[in-house]
Amino acid sequence: MNLMGTTIDYVILILYFVFILAFGAYFARFTKSTKDFFFGGQRFSWWLIAASLVATGIGSYSFLKYAQTGFTAGMSSTMTYLNDWFMIPLFMFGWLPIIYFSRIKSIPEYFDRRFDRRTRLVATIFTLLYLLGYIGLNFYLMGLAMRSLLGIPMWFAIPVVAVISAIYVTTGGQTAVIFTDLIQGLFLYIAGAILLIYGLSHVGGLSEWWANLDVAHRLPFPGFNRPAEFEFTGIFWGEGIVGTLAFTFINQGFIMRYLAVKSVNEGRKTLTFNTLLLMPISAVVVGCIGWIAASMVTTGHINTGVNAKDIFMIVANIVTRPGIFGFVIAALTAALMSTIDTLINAVAAIGIFDVYKNYIKKEAPDKHYLRASRVVSIIATLIGLALVPAFAQSRSILQAHYAFIAMISPPMLVAIFLGVVWKRFTPKGAFWGMIIGGLLILMSIIVPDIIVPIARTHGLTDGSEANIVFEAVADGPIMGPRGAYNWQEIFTEEDGSPTDFVIEYELRSQFDGTYTNIAPVWTRFDTINGTPVQRFCANLTELKPRDNYSFRVVNRATGEAFDAVWDKGLDDDKLPIIELVDSREMPESAPGNVSRFGFRTAGEYSYFRSLFGLVVTLIAGVAISLFTKPKKDIDGLSVGTIWAAKRKFKGGEPNEVAGEKVVLDVKIVSGEEKVVYLPREAMERLKANPGDLLYIADHRKRLGGLRSNHIHAGEAHDDGDFVIMSAKSFAEGNFRDNTPVRVEKII
């Protein structure tokens, strides 16, 4: 093992692992039923769930990925985190109340109740395959991160993290997941703050950092329709519209977290706080290293020729100290564990509710299902681990997984979405829409050109583009390609000057035969914070999928030519790697380095594949529904019928008159009655009637609802200022003796 980092870094990392393991395992005592195991007893406060979602939403690879994007594209790397608000109304008033009040436990269960059993079966298979693959992929990506950052072999890092995660998820269930994610989220934010503060101080403070960024790196959005791998319209449709709907409607782990809040209103608070405040902070935390690195290029702290994929490690090494680095690595591991634990719990939920309880053992005591849930959690972890070698050994398996996600997500999303918003949507429309949509998406993966018409509506070219940008800072060497993915670097005669150089590239396409293109090389002089920068840019177009390429850099004035080659490899982002073998001659003679850049083909316009999938599934689903019969009994399962869901949830007419919260002492009486009796004055302040559903929690708000219970109100009493509760309800709520409780009316 050739380890990087210092001893103190490893001590911090080990202490962190031990702490998380003990902390997570502590919550086993609060898990007494499957409701506790999967939904934390549905008792938690909004802030606890919001904080735990931070860690779930940030994967260990997010730091590496967004540092790279922040470096190449600038602050627009935040866009994927900041464009969710447009679709929030449908979740806040549509999907959230439906799943909460209808007591939906899993996505496939909704398919059953809204459509039919065979649609549920398809959804169960799709979701399980997706989630299990995702567990394996996360283990693999974490292993990659640990290997590149610390030199720890994957065969060691992955099992250690897997065992720790599996232990606390298996024992503590959702409650352990929520509380460990709370801690891990804090760790992530603290690590991000450390990197930000150290980084900013390294480049001379906030104003210097800002001054050393060019305009493109400062803007909140990337280029409108280029480059293909990070362009505005694709992200807007793929992440802002489709991605937000997919994340909020079909992400089992996300939905289970929202089912763990004490009420729908509390879920709305979580949603708002998370979207408007925590996600922007998360975007800064994961992207700031890249933004600082972009500034450090101008100040000369970083070589412009650095590989963007290594930028996190490079900057972390520069700006942090021993111990701090260990803390940052612990935070990265926290990011992984907090994503994995959610996935394991989600797989267990589907394994129990949609497979075991639905097909294998339909009737059994809850204790039996709780034991089975723990077994399924372990199995899910083991399957995830077993998939790691496959991901590690074969890129085709990795790509198959991505392709599978692309194939199933849009059809499932359309089926749920139409099910929620359109009562006329039929079971046959859902089933065949999913099948047809999935097959057409699969076809688009095999024949990518069928996506091109949609991509073209936003100005994207038939083929892909590769932008080569080299720059010389002050009188330094010509290097690249810091701005290779930067839209502003694609300049032409309108804002640059031609050089003597051209890039000739020959394409041998299975579709178009062999032809040669020539791209002129343009140059421009810029000034960043007073530092003169000369930039050279060429824009290669019409590169088609599965083409073979050869490149040549030609000096038109002298006739000299320099061969460049595509090494036919793929980098970690699946980008083909092209290496200009000798960039010293390109385009002026100066000491430099080998430059690498990547490009995406038309088939890689993945965001537009999502849009394509949505459109074809929508057309198929709607068309079939118009000729088939809708399901009759769907009360509570679509937007216009939420009142019915509320009635079922409560077991009577909802009482939505707003009342106050009251704090009372508890008087315990023997028995198992699931009704509490409140003083008359308290009932009036609560605006509650007998039969209303109340939420009773330990009065200490900092517990976030850990000690609480939902109980119906009985008749008011006049015996004193206390709530009368049975011993069983008291125990179920994990209440403590002689501790006041806070009571509020839910519905």
Partner 1 sequence: MHVGWLTYLYQFIVGGIFFAAGVIYVIKSGSANLKLSEDRKWVIALIVGYFGLATVFAVWTILAIHS
Among 6, 33, 148, 272, contact with partner 1 (rule: CB under 8 A): 272
What is the C-alpha separation between 503 and 493, in angstroms, rounded? Answer: 16
For residue 584, give the amino acid letter: R
**Least CB distance to partner 1 at residue 208 (A):** 13
Of the listed pieces 88-96, 498-506, 682-690, 703-711, which binds partner 1 according to CB under 8 A? 88-96
Alpha helices in 565-702 (DSSP H): 606-626, 642-650, 680-686
What is the C-alpha separation between 534 and 291, in angstroms, rounded? Answer: 21
**Least CB distance to partner 1 at residue 244 (A):** 10
> Residue 44, interface with partner 1 (CB under 8 A)?
no
User: Residue 685, Cβ neighbours under 10 Å: how many?
Assistant: 16
What is the C-alpha separation between 481 and 489, in angstroms, rounded? Answer: 10
> Residue 643, interface with partner 1 (CB under 8 A)?
yes
> Residue 273, interface with partner 1 (CB under 8 A)?
no
> Residue 419, interface with partner 1 (CB under 8 A)?
no
Strand order in the sheet with 513-528: 478-479, 464-473, 531-543, 513-528, 497-509, 548-555, 561-570, 576-580, 595-598
> Taking the mean position of all CA atoms in its chain, how far away is CA 714?
44
Size of the site for partner 1 (CB under 8 A): 40
Looking only at residues 645 through 664 of this chain, which bind partner 1 when binding is defined by CB under 8 A?
656, 658
Comparing CA positions, the residue from 79, 72, 59 lying closest to residue 134 is: 59
> Residue 66, interface with partner 1 (CB under 8 A)?
no
- The dihedral through the CA atoms of 318, 319, 321, 325 has a sign that is negative
Nearer to partner 1, 83 or 381 (CB): 83
For residue 539, give the amino acid letter: N
3-class DSSP state of 607: helix
Among 110, 221, 258, 597, contact with partner 1 (rule: CB under 8 A): 221
> Residue 94, interface with partner 1 (CB under 8 A)?
yes
Angle subtended at Cα 258 by Cα 282 and Cα 622, rounded to the nearest 5 degrees: 100
Among 22, 215, 382, 594, contact with partner 1 (rule: CB under 8 A): 215
> Residue 243, interface with partner 1 (CB under 8 A)?
no
> Residue 276, interface with partner 1 (CB under 8 A)?
yes
Nearer to partner 1, 220 or 300 (CB): 220
> Residue 219, interface with partner 1 (CB under 8 A)?
yes
> Residue 224, interface with partner 1 (CB under 8 A)?
yes
> Residue 421, interface with partner 1 (CB under 8 A)?
yes
**Least CB distance to partner 1 at residue 655 (A):** 11
Nearer to partner 1, 19 or 85 (CB): 85
What is the C-alpha separation between 305 and 595, in angstroms, rounded? Answer: 7
> Residue 220, interface with partner 1 (CB under 8 A)?
yes
Looking only at residues 562 through 601 of this chain, which bind partner 1 when binding is defined by CB under 8 A?
none
> Residue 644, interface with partner 1 (CB under 8 A)?
no
Task: Write out the two tokens for 148.
Answer: 């590149």
3-class DSSP state of 51: helix
User: Residue 665, Cβ neighbours under 10 Å: how many?
Assistant: 13
Task: Write out the two tokens for 475.
Answer: 């009188």
Q: Judge whether 387 and 61 are in contact, CB under 8 Å.
A: no
**Least CB distance to partner 1 at residue 17 (A):** 38
Among 166, 616, 642, 696, contact with partner 1 (rule: CB under 8 A): 642
> Residue 88, interface with partner 1 (CB under 8 A)?
yes
Among 210, 461, 582, 628, contact with partner 1 (rule: CB under 8 A): 210
Of the listed pieces 45-53, 154-162, 230-238, 444-452, which binds partner 1 according to CB under 8 A? 230-238
> Residue 163, interface with partner 1 (CB under 8 A)?
no
Q: Judge whether 742 and 662 are in contact, CB under 8 Å.
A: yes
Among 435, 442, 639, 731, contact with partner 1 (rule: CB under 8 A): 639
What is the C-alpha separation between 331 and 289, in angstroms, rounded? Answer: 14
Backbone φ and ψ for 38, nearest 5 degrees, come out as -100, -30
**662-669 and 722-726 strand pairing:** parallel
**Least CB distance to partner 1 at residue 639 (A):** 5
Q: Which residues bind partner 1 (CB under 8 A)?
A: 75, 82-83, 85-90, 92-94, 97, 210, 215, 218-224, 232-233, 236, 240-241, 265, 268, 272, 275-276, 421, 487, 639-640, 642-643, 656, 658
